[in-house]
C-alpha cells in the first residue's frame, strides 16, 4: 500500500510548497527491526526540537539543546495555560507568528522565535516526552488513549500534517535539527508499527 | 502590497518578507512601535493584529493576510485614551518610555482575554516585554488599575 | 545689567537679550558683570546669551539643556524654571536647545573628589568648588554622574525668577503700577485691578529694558510644583500614546537609511571585505567603507530593514585590535596586576596599621570578580545626519553634544560653528550615550550623499558587540575580626583605567594621574574600621571601557559591602547592628536605621530556605541602604521583597525619585543575576537580549522606598539605587543558603526562578 500526500495544499495557502513525504509501510518487519526503528524514533522524540514542547502536564515549554545553554523552562515566564496556546496569558503566536509564505526562509534569524504556517502551541498533555525514558515514551505512543487514538498510519499522517513537526527538521537560525529526516522518521514509525510497536525492556 | 493600519489603508512597495515593524516605521512613518531587538526578545514592537498582540518584528508583512493592524497611535478612541493608557499615566509608569508602547499594547490585548487578572496572571502575560529602566512594579500596579477601569466602564 | 552684589557669590549670571520678536533669559557666555556692548548691535541676542527661557509672541519656551535618557531630566528642568516663572510647563514649548559652552555641567566631576562625600568640611567644599570649575574650562556640556539636579537647581530657578521679575517690570512700565504691586499667575502678570497680561504679550517690551536680576528665590515651603507628591512628568502622556519622538523616530523628506558592520575588535582595522552579495539586495543604494570611529562597512538603503539585511550579507576580514582576544586572557591580566607595586594606582584610604594587624592571628581572605557589562538601553545607537557644503546637522540622543560637535567638525574638515547637534530624547542610556562612535560613522556615511539626510542605526547585534562596556575587575580582600567585631579590612581592586581612556576618546586629551573609578564606592564609605585600607591597581589598558550607571560604585559597592558582610558573619555580629556600629556618618546611620525599621529587620535568618541581606553604599553623595528577602525554592532563588532607603538632601519630584531608586535597583539586580559580556576573538559573545536577559517582570519583587532629606544640599538619584542591590541580594542568598557568591553574574553559581 502506498499513500502519497502533499500536505501543503490541504491546510494552507496554495502558494506554500512543502517536501512530499511518502507513507509506505514495509510488507513486514521483525521485532528486532521494530526495536531498531524505535531507538531512532526515540532519538527524534527526545531531541530538543521535539521534546521542548512535549512537556506533559507542565504548561511551560522548555529551552534545552546545543543553542540554549543550560536546560531550563522557556524564558520570560512563558506559560501556555490549559489552552496549550497561551490564550490565558500571552499567546504563543504573539512571538511565534504564522508564516505562510516563503517558508524555506522563515527562520533565518538566530535566536528569533521560530514560526511555521500554523499556530504555535504545546503538544497535548498526554504526549509527555520531556526528560522521559525510551520505554516511557514508547508506552505512550502505542497507547491509543495517550496518542490521540491513532494507529500507525495515522501517526505517520499526523507527522505529515503537523507543520510544527516539519519545522523540527528545518528549524533554521543555527538550531540543531531533529536527527535523521522527516521521511526517515516516518519510515521508522511504519517499520515500528508493522513490527507490532515493540518497546524496549526497561 | 496593501495593508490597513489604524483604520487607514496604505499601499507599500516592499518585499513580502519585510517585518511589519519596519514597514510601519520606515515606510509609513508610524513610529510608536519601536525596534529593540528584532528577535522577539523585548516586545517594544508590539502591535495588535485583529485585536491580538503581535511582535511586529516577527510578522512578515506578506503574512498579514488582510489582518487589520492597530499601533499605539490607534489605541485611544475619539472619546479619550484607552484605560490602559490612563492607568499608565496615573501610575507614572514610564521612565525612558521606549518599551512602553509595547507594554501598553500587550496589556491591552491581555486584558481583553483576561479581564480580572491576578498578580500571577500579569507575571505570565507581561514578562516577555523587557524594560531596561525597571518600571515593572508600576506596570504591575497599572495593569491592575486598568483592569478595574475596564470593569467599571 | 545685574548689580554685582549678591550675584558675585554665584558662579553664573543671569541676564537677558533681545531676540527676534521677544526676549531670552539665561547665562552670559562671557561672565562679565558689565553691560555687553555687543548687545546694542545685535538683532538676535542669542549670540551673546545662552538662554534658559525665551518669551516671544508665539509662546514661552523653556530650555532644558541636560539630556533626558529616561531619568526625567527634561521634566525636572522645566519645573525648576516654571516654579519661579509661574507657568504650567505643559503650556510651554520645551527644547534642549543647541549645545553651547555656557551649558557646562559644574557638578559632573565632583564625584571624583579626593575627599569622601560624607566629609562636609571647609577643605572638602573648597576642593569640590575647584572641581566645579574644571568642567567650565573644558566646556563639559554633559549629562551624567547624577548631576543634573545639583547643577541646575539654582541656575534654572534664577533664570525663571529673573524672567518673571523682568516681565513684571515691563508690565509696570506699561500699566503705571509699581512692580511690587504686580503678581504673576500661570503665564500672566496680574495687576491690582485683576487685569491679566500674558507674558507673550510683554515679550517685546521686556526685551527693551534691563533685566531685573536682584531676585530672591522662593522659599521651598511656598513651592507649587517642586517637592509635591502629585508632581507628574511632563513627558508621561506622550510616552503612553506613541507621540514621544526619540532620535530614532525622526523622519525627513527624502531621508535614506543606513547601518553598519564594524570591527568587533574595537580599534582594529578593516583588512578587506566582500560586499558582492549585498550590492544586489533589495533597496540597497550604496556600500561605503567607513574609517571614522571604528572601521567597518556601511550600507545605505531605502529603509533600515534592507540596510540590516545587506549588512548581514557582507563578509569582512578584521584586523586584531590592541588588546587580548579572550576573557580568560583579560582576567589573567587583571589578576596579575593585583598587589603589584608596578601597577599601584592610588590608595585614598589607609587607616590604622593594616600590615601589622594582618601579620598575626587568623586572617580571612577572599577573591572577587565582576564581568564586563553592556549598557544595552532599549533604543540602539542611532543618529540622523545631513551634510551639505555649508553645514552639518545631527539629530541624536546623546549625553555629550559638544564633543560630538567638535569631533564631527574635525572629521569632516568643517568649522565647529557650522556643525549643529539637535539633542533628542533617549530610549535609555545608562552611560551608553556618553560615547559617539556611531555618530562619527553616521557623519562619514552621510557625507557620501551630500544634501540627503541619512538615518543611521546600529542593529541590536551591532550595538551589543560594539559597546564600550563597564570595566571588568577583580578584588582581593583580607580581613580580621577581634572580640566579635570587624577589626581589619583590606581590599585591593585591579581594573584597567576607565576615565582616562574615555576622556581621551572624546577629546584627544589624556587625563594624567590616578583613575579614581577603580575604587570609587570602596574607599569612600562612611565606616570607621580600626585597620582600614583600600588600594587601586591599574591593569593594562585592554577592551576600551566606559561609564556604566553608577560607574566605579557599580562594582565597588558589591566588593566593599559583601566582604564587610563576610567579616561581620565571621565576627558573629548582626549584619545591621555591626554596620550601624561601624558607621561614622550620622545621615548614613539614619538611612540604615530607617531601612531596618522599614523592613522589620530582626536578623538575617527568616526560617528554612529564607533569608534577608542588607547592603549600604554612599555614592554620588547619596547614602543608600537596601534590604532584600529571598527564598531558596526548588526552582531556584526567588526575590520576595526589597526595601530601599536613601537620603537625597531634598526631594524635588517624589514619584520620579522613587522610580529612579527602584529602577536603579532593578537594573543592578538584572546584571547581578544573569548578565555579562564574555570576550572571544576580541568581541563579546553576547549579541542580543536572549544572551543578556536582565530581569523580567515576574522576577521583580515588591519594592518599598523611603526617601530622607537629612543631607545638606541636593543630590541626583539616577545612580545611587544601583550599588547596594547586588550585595544586598548576595548577602540574602548567603543568609538563606549559606552559599557566599563572590562573582557576578550570580547565576554562574546558583539558579534563579
Whether A138 is in a domain gets the answer yes
Which of B55, B74, B93 lies at the terminal end of a domain, its last residue? B74
Neighbours of A20 (CB within 10 A): 12
Q: Who contacts C52 (Cβ-Cβ below 8 Å, separation ≥6)?
A: C14, C25, C26, C27, C62, C63, C65, C81, C155, C156, C159, C160
Shortest alpha-carbon distance between residue B82 and chain C (Å): 9
Are the beta carbons of B37 and C695 separated by less than 8 Å? no
Q: What does the pLDDT look like over B49-69, one tens digit per residue? A: 999 999 999 999 999 989 999
Neighbours of C228 (CB within 10 A): 15
pLDDT of C47? 43
Residues B107 and B133 in one domain: yes
Q: Which residues of chain C are within 8 Å of residue B106 when distances are taken between CB atoms?
A: none
Among B66, B86, B81, B89, residue whose Cα is nearest residue B4: B66
Residues B23 and B62 in one domain: yes
On whether any CB of chain C is under 8 Å from the CB of A77, the answer is yes
Query: Mean pLDDT over residues B112-138, rounded?
Result: 97
Are the beta carbons of B97 and C379 separated by less than 8 Å? no
Please state the φ and ψ torsions of residue C708, each to the nearest 5 degrees.
-105, 160
Q: Which residues of chain B are within 8 Å of residue A163 when distances are taken between CB atoms?
A: none
Q: Say yes or no to pLDDT of B44 above 60.
A: yes
> How many angstroms separate the CA atoms of C318 and C262, rounded?
9
pLDDT of A7? 29
Residues B58 and B105 in one domain: no
Shortest alpha-carbon distance between residue B110 and chain A (Å): 6
Among B25, B65, C566, residue whose Cα is nearest residue C578: C566
Instruction: Note down the domain range covering B55.
Output: 2-74
Whether A19 is in a domain gets the answer yes
* Second CATH level (architecture) for the domain C327-373+469-748: 2-Layer Sandwich (3.30)
* CB-based burial label for B77 (10 Å; 0-12, 13-18, 19+): exposed
Which residue is closest to B97 within chain C, CA to CA? C239
Instruction: Note down the domain range covering A84.
Output: 3-194
Residues B87 and B147 in one domain: yes
Q: What's the number of CA atoms in the CB half-sphere (13 Å) around residue C699? A: 30
Which of B74, B98, B113 lies at the terminal end of a domain, its last residue? B74
On whether any CB of chain B is under 8 Å from the CB of A74, the answer is no
The yes-or-no answer to whether C247-321+381-457 and C327-373+469-748 have a common fold is yes
CATH code of the region C4-105+140-241: 3.30.365.10
Closest partner residue to A77 (CB to CB) among C690, C691, C698 is: C698
Which residue is closest to C246 within chain B, CA to CA? B98
Which of C67, C241, C460 should one mutate to test binding to chain B, selecting the residue with the greatest count of B CBs within 10 A? C241
Q: pLDDT in tens for each of the 202 residues of chain A?
A: 333 332 222 233 333 345 568 999 999 999 999 999 999 999 999 999 999 999 999 999 999 998 788 899 999 999 999 999 999 999 999 999 998 877 778 899 999 999 998 899 999 999 999 999 999 999 999 999 998 889 989 999 888 888 888 899 999 999 999 999 999 999 999 999 999 999 998 5
- Count residue pairs from B and C with Cβ separation < 8 A: 179
Which of A60, A77, A78 should one mutate to test binding to chain C, selecting the residue with the greatest count of C CBs within 10 A? A77
pLDDT of C138? 55
Are the beta carbons of C690 and A111 separated by less than 8 Å? yes
Which residue is closest to B88 within chain C, CA to CA? C240
Q: Which residues of chain B are within 8 Å of residue A78 when distances are taken between CB atoms?
A: 124, 127-128
Q: Domain holding B47: CATH number?
A: 3.10.20.30
Q: What does the pLDDT look like over B131-141, one tens digit per residue? A: 999 999 999 99
Residues B40 and B94 in one domain: no
Q: Which residues of chain B are within 8 Å of residue C672 when distances are taken between CB atoms?
A: none
Which residue is closest to A74 within chain C, CA to CA? C690
- Count residue pairs from A and C with Cβ separation < 8 A: 11
> How many angstroms separate the CA atoms of A73 and A77, rounded?
8
Domain ranges in chain C are: 4-105+140-241, 247-321+381-457, 327-373+469-748
The CA-atom distances, in angstroms, between C749 and each of C672, C700, C736, C740 are: 11, 20, 14, 9
Positions of chain C with pLDDT lower than 50, given as ranges: 1-9, 30-47
Whether A201 is in a domain gets the answer no
Whether A185 is in a domain gets the answer yes
Q: Domain holding B113: CATH number?
A: 1.10.150.120
Which chains are within 8 Å of C by 3+ CB pairs?
Answer: A, B
Among A85, A60, A55, A86, residue whose Cα is nearest residue A73: A60
CATH fold, domain C247-321+381-457, is Aldehyde Oxidoreductase; domain 4 (3.30.365)
Residues B96 and B51 in one domain: no
Where do the H-state alpha helices sit in chain B? 20-22, 83-90, 100-113, 119-126, 136-152
**DSSP string for residues in chain A:** --EEE--HHHHS-TT-----EEE---S---HHHHHHHHHHHHHHHTSHHHHTT-BTT----EE-STTT-S-EE-TTT---TTTTS-TTSS-HHHHS-B--SSGGGTT-STTSPP-BSS---PPPTT-B-TT--HHHHHHHHH-TTTTTS--HHHHHHHHHH-HHHHHHTS--TTPPPPSS-HHHHHHHHHHHHHTT------
pLDDT of A8? 28
Please state the φ and ψ torsions of residue C487, each to the nearest 5 degrees.
-115, -40
Which chains are within 8 Å of A by 3+ CB pairs?
Answer: B, C
Torsion of CA A149, A154, A157, A162, to 10 degrees: 0
Looking at the structure of chain A, the number of domains it has is 1
Are the beta carbons of B121 and A111 separated by less than 8 Å? no
Residues in C lying within 8 Å of A, measured between beta carbons: 688, 690-691, 693, 696-699
Contact B69, B6 (CB under 8 A): yes
Closest partner residue to B72 (CB to CB) among C241, C457, C703 is: C241
On whether any CB of chain C is under 8 Å from the CB of B56, the answer is no
Q: Which residues of chain A are within 8 Å of residue C696 when distances are taken between CB atoms?
A: 75-77
ipTM score: 0.98
Looking at the structure of chain B, the number of domains it has is 2
Amino acid at each position: 500500500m502506498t499513500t502519497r500526500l502533499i500536505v501543503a495544499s490541504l491546510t494552507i495557502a496554495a502558494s506554500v510548497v512543502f517536501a512530499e513525504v511518502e507513507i509506505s509501510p514495509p510488507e513486514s518487519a521483525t521485532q528486532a527491526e521494530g526495536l531498531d526503528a524505535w531507538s531512532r524514533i526515540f532519538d527524534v522524540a527526545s531531541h530538543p526540537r521535539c521534546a521542548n514542547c512535549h512537556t506533559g502536564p507542565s504548561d511551560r515549554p522548555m529551552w534545552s539543546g546545543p543553542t540554549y545553554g543550560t536546560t531550563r523552562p522557556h524564558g520570560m515566564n512563558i506559560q501556555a495555560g490549559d489552552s496549550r496556546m497561551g490564550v490565558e496569558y500571552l499567546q504563543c503566536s504573539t512571538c511565534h507568528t504564522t508564516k505562510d509564505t516563503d517558508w524555506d526562509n522563515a527562520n533565518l534569524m538566530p535566536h528569533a522565535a521560530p514560526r511555521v504556517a500554523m499556530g504555535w502551541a504545546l503538544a497535548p498533555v498526554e504526549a509527555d516526552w520531556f526528560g522521559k525514558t525510551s520505554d516511557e515514551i514508547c508506552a505512550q505512543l502505542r497507547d491509543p488513549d495517550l496518542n490521540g487514538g491513532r494507529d500507525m498510519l495515522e501517526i505517520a499522517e499526523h507527522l505529515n500534517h503537523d507543520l510544527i513537526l516539519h519545522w523540527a527538521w528545518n528549524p533554521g537560525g543555527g538550531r540543531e535539527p531533529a536527527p535523521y529526516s522527516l521521511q526517515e522518521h516516518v519510515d521508522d514509525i511504519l517499520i515500528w508499527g508493522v513490527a507490532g510497536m515493540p518497546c524496549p525492556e526497561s | 502590497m496593501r495593508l490597513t493600519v489604524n483604520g487607514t489603508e496604505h499601499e507599500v512597495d516592499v518585499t513580502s518578507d519585510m517585518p511589519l515593524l519596519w514597514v510601519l516605521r520606515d515606510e509609513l512613518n508610524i513610529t510608536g512601535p519601536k525596534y529593540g531587538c528584532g528577535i522577539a526578545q523585548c516586545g517594544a514592537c508590539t502591535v495588535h493584529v485583529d485585536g491580538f498582540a503581535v511582535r511586529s518584528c516577527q510578522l512578515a508583512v506578506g503574512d498579514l493576510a488582510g489582518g487589520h493592524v492597530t499601533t499605539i497611535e490607534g489605541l485611544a478612541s475619539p472619546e479619550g485614551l484607552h484605560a490602559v493608557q490612563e492607568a499608565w499615566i496615573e501610575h507614572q509608569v514610564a521612565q525612558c518610555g521606549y518599551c512602553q508602547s509595547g507594554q501598553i499594547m500587550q496589556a491591552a490585548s491581555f486584558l481583553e482575554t483576561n479581564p480580572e487578572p491576578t498578580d500571577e496572571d500579569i507575571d505570565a502575560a507581561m514578562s516577555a516585554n523587557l524594560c531596561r529602566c525597571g518600571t515593572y512594579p508600576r506596570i504591575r500596579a497599572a495593569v491592575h488599575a486598568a483592569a478595574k477601569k475596564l470593569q467599571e466602564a | 545689567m545685574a548689580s554685582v552684589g549678591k550675584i558675585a557669590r554665584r558662579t553664573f549670571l543671569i541676564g537677558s537679550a533681545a531676540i527676534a520678536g521677544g526676549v531670552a533669559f539665561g547665562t552670559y557666555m562671557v561672565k562679565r558683570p558689565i553691560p555687553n556692548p555687543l548687545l546694542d548691535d545685535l538683532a538676535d541676542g542669542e549670540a551673546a546669551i545662552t538662554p534658559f527661557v525665551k518669551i516671544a509672541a508665539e509662546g514661552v519656551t523653556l530650555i532644558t539643556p541636560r539630556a533626558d535618557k529616561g531619568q526625567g531630566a527634561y521634566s525636572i528642568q522645566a519645573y525648576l524654571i516654571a516654579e519661579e516663572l509661574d507657568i504650567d510647563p505643559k503650556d510651554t514649548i520645551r527644547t534642549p536647545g543647541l549645545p553651547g559652552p555656557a551649558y557646562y555641567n559644574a557638578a559632573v566631576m565632583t564625584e571624583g573628589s579626593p575627599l569622601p562625600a560624607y566629609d562636609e568640611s571647609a577643605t572638602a567644599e573648597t576642593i569640590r568648588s575647584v572641581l566645579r570649575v574644571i568642567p567650565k574650562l573644558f566646556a563639559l556640556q554633559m549629562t551624567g554622574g547624577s548631576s543634573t539636579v545639583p547643577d541646575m537647581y539654582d541656575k534654572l530657578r534664577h533664570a525663571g525668577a529673573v524672567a518673571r521679575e523682568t516681565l513684571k517690570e515691563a508690565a509696570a512700565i506699561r500699566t503705571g503700577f509699581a512692580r511690587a504691586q504686580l503678581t504673576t499667575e500661570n503665564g500672566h502678570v496680574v495687576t491690582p485691578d485683576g487685569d491679566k497680561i500674558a507674558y507673550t504679550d510683554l515679550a517685546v517690551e521686556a526685551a527693551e529694558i534691563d533685566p531685573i536680576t536682584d531676585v530672591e528665590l522662593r522659599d521651598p515651603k511656598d513651592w507649587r510644583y517642586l517637592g509635591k507628591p502629585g508632581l507628574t512628568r511632563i513627558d508621561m502622556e506622550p510616552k503612553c500614546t506613541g507621540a514621544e519622538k526619540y532620535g530614532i523616530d525622526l523622519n525627513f523628506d527624502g531621508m535614506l537609511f543606513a547601518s553598519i558592520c564594524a570591527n568587533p575588535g574595537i580599534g582594529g582595522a578593516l583588512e578587506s571585505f566582500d560586499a558582492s552579495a549585498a550590492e544586489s539586495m533589495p533597496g540597497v543604494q550604496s556600500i561605503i567603507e567607513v574609517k571614522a570611529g571604528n572601521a567597518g562597512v556601511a550600507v545605505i538603503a531605502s529603509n533600515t530593514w534592507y540596510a540590516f539585511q545587506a549588512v548581514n550579507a557582507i563578509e569582512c576580514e578584521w584586523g586584531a585590535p590592541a588588546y587580548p582576544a579572550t576573557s580568560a586572557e583579560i582576567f589573567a591580566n587583571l589578576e596579575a596586576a593585583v598587589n603589584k607595586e608596578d601597577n599601584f594606582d592610588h590608595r585614598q584610604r589607609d587607616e590604622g596599621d593594616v600590615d601589622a594587624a594582618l601579620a598575626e592571628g587568623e586572617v580571612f581572605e577572599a577573591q572577587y570578580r565582576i564581568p564586563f557589562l553592556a549598557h544595552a538601553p532599549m533604543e540602539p545607537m542611532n543618529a540622523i545626519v545631513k551634510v551639505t557644503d555649508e553645514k552639518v546637522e545631527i539629530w541624536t540622543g546623546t549625553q555629550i553634544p559638544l564633543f560630538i560637535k567638535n569631533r564631527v567638525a574635525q572629521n569632516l574638515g568643517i568649522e565647529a560653528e557650522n556643525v549643529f547637534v539637535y539633542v533628542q530624547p533617549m530610549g535609555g542610556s545608562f552611560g551608553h550615550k556618553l560615547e559617539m562612535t556611531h555618530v562619527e560613522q553616521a557623519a562619514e556615511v552621510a557625507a557620501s550623499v551630500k544634501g540627503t539626510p541619512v538615518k543611521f542605526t546600529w542593529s541590536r547585534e551591532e550595538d551589543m558587540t560594539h559597546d564600550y562596556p563597564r570595566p571588568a575587575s577583580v578584588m582581593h580582600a583580607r580581613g580580621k575580626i577581634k572580640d566579635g567585631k570587624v577589626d581589619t579590612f583590606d581590599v585591593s581592586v585591579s581594573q584597567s583605567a576607565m576615565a582616562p581612556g574615555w576622556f581621551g576618546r572624546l577629546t584627544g586629551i589624556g587625563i594624567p594621574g590616578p583613575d579614581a573609578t577603580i575604587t570609587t564606592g570602596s574607599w569612600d564609605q562612611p565606616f570607621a574600621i580600626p585597620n582600614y585600607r583600600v588600594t587601586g591597581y591599574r591593569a593594562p589598558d585592554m577592551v576600551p571601557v566606559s561609564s556604566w550607571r553608577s560607574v566605579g560604585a557599580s562594582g565597588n559597592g558589591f566588593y566593599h559591602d559583601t566582604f564587610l558582610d563576610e567579616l561581620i558573619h565571621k565576627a558573629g555580629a548582626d549584619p545591621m547592628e555591626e554596620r550601624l556600629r561601624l558607621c561614622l556618618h550620622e545621615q548614613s546611620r539614619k538611612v540604615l536605621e530607617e531601612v531596618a525599621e522599614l523592613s522589620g529587620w530582626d536578623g538575617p535568618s527568616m526560617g528554612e530556605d529564607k533569608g534577608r541581606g542588607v547592603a549600604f553604599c554612599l555614592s554620588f553623595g547619596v547614602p543608600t541602604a537596601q534590604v532584600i528577602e529571598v527564598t531558596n525554592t526548588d526552582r531556584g532563588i526567588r526575590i520576595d521583597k526589597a526595601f530601599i532607603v536613601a537620603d537625597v538632601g531634598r526631594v524635588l519630584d517624589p514619584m520620579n525619585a522613587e522610580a529612579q531608586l527602584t529602577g536603579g535597583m532593578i537594573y543592578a539586580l538584572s546584571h547581578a543575576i544573569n548578565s555579562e559580556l564574555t570576550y572571544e576573538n576580541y568581541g563579546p559573545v553576547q549579541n542580543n537580549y536572549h544572551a543578556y536577559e536582565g530581569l523580567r517582570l515576574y522576577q521583580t519583587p515588591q519594592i518599598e522606598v523611603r526617601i530622607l532629606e537629612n543631607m545638606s544640599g541636593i543630590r541626583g538619584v539616577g545612580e545611587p539605587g544601583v550599588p547596594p542591590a547586588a550585595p544586598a541580594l548576595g548577602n540574602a542568598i548567603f543568609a538563606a543558603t549559606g552559599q557566599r557568591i563572590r562573582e557576578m553574574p550570580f547565576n554562574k553559581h546558583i539558579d534563579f526562578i
